[in-house]
Structure formats: structure tokens, C-alpha cells
Amino acid sequence: MNSKMILKQSTISALILGIFFFIGILLAASILFMNSSIQAEQTAEMRRTEFRQLGINLADASDYLTDEARKYAVTNDIVHLEKYWEEINKTQTRDNVISRVRELNSPDEELALLAEAKRYSDALVSTERRSMRLVLEAQGVPEKNMVNEVATYYLSIEDQKLNNAEKLTKAREIMFDSKYDADKQNIMNPIAKFQTIMNDRLEAELATARKATTRAAILQMILAVIIIGAIAVLIRLLFKQVTYPINNYTQQLLVFSFSSANFSLVPEGTQELRMLAMNFNELYNSFQEELIKRKLAEDTMKTAKEEAELANKAKSEFLANMSHEIRTPLNTITGYEYLLNNTELGVKQKEYVGKIGMAANNLLAIINEILDFSKIEAGKMTLEAIEFDLHQTLQELCNMVSIGAQQKGLEINFDIKDDVPQYLIGDTIRLKQVILNLLSNAIKFTHQGIIHVLVELMENEGMQAVLRFSVKDTGIGIAEKNKEAIFEVFTQGNASTSRKYGGTGLGLAICKKIVGLMAGEISVESEEGEGSTFTFSAKFEIAKDIARGIHKGSIPNALTGIFKQKRILIVEDNLINLQMAKEILESLGFDTNAAESGWAALRMVKENRYDAVLMDIRMPVMDGYEATRRIRVMDGNESLPIIALSADAVEGVAERAKESGMNSCLTKPLNPIKLVEVLKEFITIQDIHQVFDERLEEASTSQGWVEFETGIRRIGGNRTNYKNILEQFISNHCEDSKKIRGYISVGNFEEAKRLVHTIKGIAGNIEANHLQAASERLEKAIVNQADKELVLLISEFDIALKESCHYSAIFVSTPVDQDITEDKSPEMESTDYLFRLLDLLTKGDPEAKSFFASSAHYFASNLDDHEYSHLRKKIASYDLEEAADDLQRVINRIRLMEGAVKHV
Ligand code: ADP
């Protein structure tokens, strides 16, 4: 097949069909031909047999007639006469043969021979009729009794003249004479000839038929060869046009790779297969084009991503700069406020200074909130996984917001469903931040009614629980169109909201991010004028149990002068900051020198001996890093403690400072406590830690049973009154557990309950918290008359009462500690403790420690365990800046809440 000839698949199919159809017809024709040839042969065979038999029959019939006629002439037995005529008239063999021969369309020659035989036969019959007439007449048979043919035969005159005997003899003679034999021979000759001719003809016919059969067989063989040939051609066609091309395509595609840009299938085979290859090539080309386009797009995206990263970096740098720029003046403000506070001030001035500090701290808090949000956005905020008590967390939240709610006349309900696990592992501070934000908003935007906090269990799989928190209020509600937007940054319900209620619009956006970090979702359902329900979910691990309790203690103050006779160089280009740092360091006892630039610092380090250098990082001409590197190569200054001072609140500064040879890094605003902590690492002084820790131990033993300081504040700060109350408590109630046991033993539950209830009230007032809790439990058990519990609870109550009385007695007999009471204003509002502490922490005021210790009860009850212990830890290790950050979030909420209260 010509390979250039392109066939369609349909053409091949038609060709196959046509060839098979043609083969079918040929086969059918050849079978028919074969069949007819065989039949012709069989017919010829049969005709030959039949003709042969006819010849025999004719000869036999003639002999039979001769035989019967002769027998009659000899025996004169009528039977033979009858048989003879039966043959002539009934059997008619001779006539039948002739008519059959005629029927079989024998050639004329044969028919002529038969006619001749018949003619001679008729002549012989005439002789035989004469013989029979002679016999019959000799027998005297009347004519009418003769067979018709015999009766109609008339004897010649001579015969008639013969007597009967002569007639009989004559009858015999004519049947056996030579004439009869000659006549007989005349019949048999044409019959014999007929048989010979006929035989030859039939043999010829048979030979022809046999030849036809042979031809049919040959034809069939030729046909078979043609069919095999046609099938072979078809198979080859199929292979060439279909199978080979498909194989080739497969081979080409097997070694194909997307990287080969110029790949194409060589079209071959049927039109359809060629089309397939061409379509594939077209498709591949467009795919390649698409690939190139995508690659281009990818490159563009990569560039865009790099640009975005650069932009993000620029944003981070902007934030760093902004924080630097804002923190630097803030540093100045808080620093001077600190210094100013340590000078002699009138009441008014003290108040103004306090307000300046508070405003600066609030501004710092807002910056922190913005940085907080940026931190979440940049994915830099990670959650802690700490065990916590959910009930306690919510209790603490309740304490935090209850004041604000009470001031607005709002009721707050907390409902934790029974199946919610109490002890969880998660970031309790962030959880509180979210709930507190929702609660603060609820209080802020509600003027009357109830705020309902509900905690439910959504899923509980193994050691993981998904909780749903909802905060429902009866406040102003949110318009439908604003519902989605309020979770966006800096978005408030409407423009008038910020005017009326204040706020930054950042709270819910931060909540949404934190909830996202907790694998949860936050949403709101609200109707304007009806109220709002904020719901969020969060995932926690379930803790088996957690260690509870807060280690409370007081920390002594006074860091003043601990670095006496130590020399320090302050390198700072900003004169105000320099002045401030100088004063702080001098108040710590340092002998200070100041350098206003990197160059000046180099010169001064060369000329003087210092115990340490406080090095600002950002300075014109020569920055802190460079100055440090140069100091390090100076003789004798390899180990001079150099502490970096940076206003950049971004990562990487500490690392760079270390790389340039600095020993440590502090951030601005300068935190004296942190500064002391760092300097202590490098400058040998008296170990004040030990002293602090001893005092801490001492204080913590006496506390816990009765929170004296909080108790004093509770009654307006009058220590004497408080002591009087304690005295009354000691004299009236210390022996009450015996009385209660007595009442219970005689079944007087009513009286027992009344007495326990009274003690519970007093314990609350004097801040004997263990006693108050034990009373509450005992009271419940008495009401329920739970016998088993009662035994235990009375013992617990007994111990709490005794311990409370014991420490109260010690307290009553201890003279007033002026150092502690001095700092505490009797008019101080409860939230002022938080502001005061934040104020001290942000300023890095060492007073923060003693203030925290003396107000421990307030913080313990308004912060959760973790916050409290974190704060305590951080304050104890002078990490006041971080402690300030922790406290800031809580304060922000409370401040907003109070702001809301004031707006109403
Ligand atoms: P803001 O500091 O302004 O309160 P938030 O992100 O916490 O910022 O809240 C955004 C806005 O959502 C609010 O200004 C107020 O319009 C709306 N909003 C939040 N909580 C409530 C609530 N409980 N009832 C009515 N409006 C609310």
C-alpha cells in the first residue's frame, strides 16, 4: 500500500466490509456452482443407469413375449397366451420404454432405432397372432372367446385349409422357423445398437458433469487463496494505517517530557490518527504557550511578592521608626514624670504629674495595641499553652468587670454548662483578652439590663475540646450593615460611636485574630435597640488537673544608692534623654559622665576608667555599634561592660548589639529596674536579691489567711478601725466552731447555719478569704444536711477560723508600718491600683515591687492566677517592662469600660 495514500478510518472499514461482502458472494456462487456440478454429475449417473435399464427392459420384454408365444404354440396352455397378452396390453413394457425414452429427450437416432425395433416387433407379433389363431382354431375355440387381437387376426386361405393337427404343427413351425429368428434378430439388432449409442451418449454426459465438478473444486480453491490474500492485505492495511501509528505515538509519548519545548508527534496512519497527532501538537503548542505565559506570570508574581516583601519590610521599618519616634518623646515624658515625682511636690502638682504619666502610659498602651495587631498580622504572635482553671478565669473576669457593670447598674451572669471541662491547656491571657474585650463592649454599649456570659462544649474529641463562649447584652445593638465591618481594623459601628463611646475600633479586630489563632471563629448576632450576642469558639487541650493557688508575697523597695562609688559613662545624643538617664543613674548611686556622640565616647573611655558604658544606638555620624566596635579594640577595654540603649522595639537590635561587642541591650523608655538587673550582672554590688527573697518568705507566711492591707482599703483605709474590727472578731468568734459542732450534734441546723453565715460575712469584710470560702462550703452542707461532708467541712472551717484569728491577733498587736501605708491613698479607687502599678512598671520605678506586694490582694483577685504569677515573677526579676506590657491589655479594657461609664 502506498504510504503516501491517506485513508480514512471509515474508508478502511468500508473496504473491509466490501472485501468481505465480495468474498461472501464468491463463496456463495462457488458453493452453488459446486452444488449444481455435483447434481449434474449425479443426474447423468442416474440417466445412464435408467437408460441402461430401459434397453435391458426392452430386450427382456421382447424375449418374454417370444418365450410365452412359443410356450403357447408348444403347450397350447392358455396361461401363456394370457401372459403374452397381459404383457402386450397391460404391462406394455415396450411402449413404456419408448415413451420413457421419448420423455428423456433421447436423440432422434436412438428413437429411430427404437422405432425400427418396434416395427420389427409388430411384425413378430403378427407371426405370433397367426400361431395363436392356428392353435385356437385347432382347438375349436370360437372366435368370440378369443383375445381381441387374435380374434381380429384372419388366417390365410392355405392356413384355413389345414386340419387341426396341421394347424397345431403349423403354429409350432412358424414360431421356431428361420423367418421367426430373422424377425427376432431384426428387433434385437436396433435394440442393441440403441443401447450402444445411448451408453456412449450417457458416458459423455457423465464425463461432462464430472469435469464441471472438478472445475468447481478448482474455483473454490482459487477463491480460498483469494480470500486468504484479501485478509492478509486487510491485516497489513490495518497494521500500517492503525496499529503501527498508534504504537509510534505511544513510543514517542513514553519518552516525552514537558521540558522539551519543540516536541511534536509525526502524523501518520489514517486520517483520524493524523488528525489526532495534529490536534495533540496544536494542543501541546498552546500548552507550551500557556506555560510560557504562566512562567512569565510567575516571574511577575515573584517580583510582585519580592516587592510586597520589600513593602512589608518598609512597613516594619516604618513601625520601628514610628515606635522609635513616639517612644523617644514618651521616654522623655515618663522619665521626667518619674524624676518629678521623686521631688517635693504639692498636692495639685502631684495630681497633674500623675495625669501626665497616665496620659503617656495610655498613649504607650495604644502604641502597644497597634504593635500587638501588627505582630498578629505578621504571624509573629504565638499562643502559650499553659494549664488553667476555666472557672477561676471566668471568676477573675467577673471581678474585673463587676465594678464597671455595677456602676452602670448592669447585672452580669456567668453560666458554664456542666459538660465543659474545668481544667484546660491554652493561652488564658489571650482568652481573657478576648472575653474581656467583648464584656467591656457589652458594658460600654448597654445602658440597662443583663449581660449574660455562656460557655458551652461544642466538641470533645479525646483530650481536645472546642468551647463556645457567648456574651449577650441588652444594649444598643448593631445595624445589619455594620455587623461584618466591626471585625475590621479601626472600624466602629458608626461615626458617632467613637464620639459618644470612645475606643479605637481595634478591639474586635484583635479578638478575631486571636480567636483565629485558637482555631475558632467569632461572629455576632444583633438587632438594633435589642442587644447583641457575640459568640466565638476556641480549641483547647483538656488538662487532667492543675496546681492551683497563688503564691503571694511582698517585696521590699529601695534600690537607691546600691551602685555607690561606681562610675558609668552615658552615651546619648538626645540631651533630654541624656539628662534623664543621668539622673536615674545618679539616684542609683552612680558617678556619671556623659558623652553626646560616639566620638566623644571614644575619647572619654580612653581617658577614664568606667565600670560600665550605657550606649545609645542611634546617633548621627558614629552610631552605637561602631563606637562599641572601636572601644573593643582599645587596650584594656575588651571586657568593659557596654549596655546598648535602643528605642527600636523591633527584632534584631539585640543580635546586632551583641555582634558589635555589646554585653546587653535595653529598650527605651529606660527602665531603672531592668537597668539595675542588667548592671548587676557586670558590676559587683551587695546581693540585694537574697535580702528580697528572705523578706518575701517572711511576708508570705503571714498572708493568705487574712489580707490585711486589702481589708484596710475595703473599709476606707482606716487602719485603726480595721484593727478594732479584727479585735471584735477575735473576741466574739474565735471559739465559734465549737458552738457550731454543738448545734449540729443536737440537730439544730438552723442555728448552726445562722452562725456560719454571720462568720462568712465578717470573714468577707476583714478579707479572711479562706475562712470566707470554708464558711460558704459549710453553710451549703448544713443547708443540704450532707452528713458526710459536714464532718470534713467543719474541720476545714475550724482550721480556717483558728488561723485567721491567730494572724489577726498578730496583726492587731503589730505597730503600724508607715512605709507601707504612706504610698496608699485612702481614697484610692480599686481600678487605680492597676493604673498605679502600670505607671510604676512603665517608669521602671522600683516602688512597683513594694506597691505590688502591698496591694497583692487586689491584684490577686482582679487578675487571674497566671497573670498574677507572671506579673509577680517579672516584677521579682525586675523585668518591669514586660510586666507593664502584660498589665497594659487588662488596663486598656478596664479603662475603656470606665470611659464608657463616664460617657453614659
Ligand atoms: P472599640 O474600641 O471602638 O470598642 P471594637 O473593635 O471593640 O472597638 O468595636 C468596634 C465597634 O463594634 C464598636 O465601635 C461598636 O460600634 C461595635 N460594638 C462592639 N460591641 C458592641 C456591643 N456589644 N453592642 C453594640 N455595638 C458594639
For 176-186, write each residue's pLDDT tens digit.
999 899 888 98
Q: How confident is the model at residue 405 (pLDDT cuts 50, 70, 90)?
A: confident
Asked if pLDDT for residue 193 goes beyond 80, the answer is yes
What's the whole-number mean pLDDT along residues 500-525?
Answer: 84
Ligand 1 neighbourhood includes 505 CB (under 6 angstroms): yes
Nearest CA to ligand 1 atom 8: 505
Task: Tell me the pLDDT band of 691, cut-offs 50, 70 and 90.
Answer: very low
Average model confidence (pLDDT) across the chain:
80
pLDDT at residue number 857? 66
Cα-to-centroid distance, 450 and ligand 1 (Å): 17
How large is the average pLDDT for residues 218-230? 86
Q: What residue's CA is closest to ligand 1, atom 15?
A: 493
Judged by average pLDDT, the poorest of 316-320, 477-481, 527-531, 640-644 is 316-320
pLDDT surpassing 90 at residue 626: yes
Mean pLDDT of the region 834-849: 76
3-state secondary structure at position 536: strand
Half-sphere exposure of 357 (CA within 13 A, CB side): 25
- pLDDT of 587 above 90: no
Residue range 703-725: mean pLDDT, rounded: 74
- Probe ligand 1: pick from 438, 439, 441, max atoms within 8 Å of CB? 441
Could you tell me if 79 and 234 are in contact, meaning their C-beta atoms sit under 8 angstroms apart?
no
CB 412 within 8 A of CB 402: yes
> pLDDT (tens digit, 9 = 90+) per residue, 517-549?
999 999 999 999 999 999 999 999 988 654 333
Assess whether pLDDT exceeds 90 at residue 569. yes
Are 130 and 108 in contact by the 8 Å Cβ rule? The answer is no
Residue 387 one-letter amino acid: E
Q: Cis omega before residue 669 (within 30°)?
A: yes
pLDDT surpassing 50 at residue 699? no
More confident residue, 474 or 325: 474
Distance CA 223, CA 30 (A): 8
The grid cell for 339 is: 524624676
Asked whether the predicted pLDDT for residue 693 surpasses 60, the reply is: no
**Nearest residue CA, atom 25 of ligand 1?**
477
Does residue 445 register a pLDDT over 80? yes
Ligand 1 contact, 453 CB (< 6 A): no
Q: Is 474 in the pocket of ligand 1 (CB under 6 A)?
A: no
Q: What separation in Å is there between the alpha carbon of 492 and the centre of ligand 1?
A: 6
Per-residue pLDDT band for 85 (boundaries 50, 70, 90) equals: very high
Note the pLDDT tens digit of each residue in 770-785.
Answer: 898 889 888 888 887 7
**Mean per-residue pLDDT, 650-659:** 80
531 lines ligand 1 (CB under 6 A): no
Q: Which residues pair with 451 in a beta bridge?
A: 412
Give the β-pairing of 612-616 and 642-646.
parallel
Rounded CA gap, 262 and 252, in Å? 13
Least confident of 155-169, 225-239, 735-749, 846-860: 846-860
In short, whether 475's Cβ falls inside 6 Å of ligand 1 is: yes
Q: What is the pLDDT of residue 170?
A: 92
Q: Are 677 and 351 in contact (CB under 8 A)?
A: no
% of the chain exceeding 70 in pLDDT: 82
Distance 507 CA to ligand 1 centre (A): 8
Higher pLDDT, 394 or 569: 569
pLDDT given for residue 872 in this prediction = 78
Q: Which three cell numbers stand for residue 814?
A: 503589730
**Percent of the chain having pLDDT more than 90?**
19
Quickly list DSSP for 603-652.
HHHHHS--SEEEEES--SSS-HHHHHHHHHTSTT-TT--EEEEE---STT
Cell of 388: 488553667
- Ligand 1, residues 444, 508, 512, 903: which to mutate, most atoms within 8 A of Cβ? 508
Residues 152-178: tens digit of each pLDDT: 998 899 998 999 899 999 999 999 999
Binned at pLDDT 50, 70 and 90, residue 79 comes out as very high
User: What per-residue confidence (pLDDT) applies to 369?
Assistant: 65
pLDDT tens across 487-501, in order? Answer: 887 666 555 655 566
867 lines ligand 1 (CB under 6 A): no
When mean pLDDT is compared across 2-11, 345-354, 466-475, 610-619, the lowest value belongs to 2-11
> How is residue 647 written as a grid cell?
528605642
659 pLDDT more than 50: yes
Tell me the C-alpha distance between 93 and 55, whole Å.
Answer: 11
Q: Which pLDDT belongs to residue 868?
A: 74
User: pLDDT category, 662, cuts 50, 70, 90?
Assistant: very high
182-211 burial: b if 16+ Cβ within 10 Å, else e: ebbebbbebbebbbebbeebbeebbeebbe
Nearest CA to ligand 1 atom 4: 503
Q: Cβ distance 473 to 451 under 8 Å? A: yes
**What would the pLDDT profile of 276-317 be if each residue is shown by its tens digit?**
999 988 988 888 888 889 999 999 999 999 988 888 767 766
The residues, ordered by sequence, that sit 6+ positions from 269 with a Cβ below 8 Å of its Cβ are: 240, 241, 242, 244, 245, 246
Q: Give residue 862's pLDDT band: very low, low, confident or very high (50, 70, 90).
A: low
Task: Write out the three cell numbers for 698.
Answer: 517572711
* Ligand 1 atom 16, closest CA: 493
Do residues 568 and 489 lie in contact, with contact meaning Cβ atoms separated by under 8 Å? no
Which candidate, 473, 469, 497, places its Cα nearest to that of 485? 497
User: Helix 749-766 to helix 787-813 angle, to the nearest 10 degrees?
Assistant: 40
Across the strands, what pairs with 468? 456, 537
Mean pLDDT, to the nearest integer, of 241-264?
Answer: 84
Our mutation pick for probing the ligand 1 site, out of 408, 469, 474, 492, counting the most ligand atoms within 8 A of Cβ, is 492
**pTM (2 d.p.):** 0.36
When pLDDT is averaged across residues 126-140 and rounded to a whole number, the result is: 91
Amino acid at 890: V
pLDDT given at position 1: 45
Q: Comparing 62-66, 279-283, 827-831, which segment has the lowest mean pLDDT?
A: 827-831
Closest CA to 47 of 275, 209, 221, 193: 209
The residue type found at 135 is V
- Summarize the confidence of residues 793-820 as an average pLDDT: 72
834 Cα–ligand 1 center, Å: 24
Which residue type does 330 have? L
Give CA–CA dist 219/208, Å, rounded.
Answer: 16
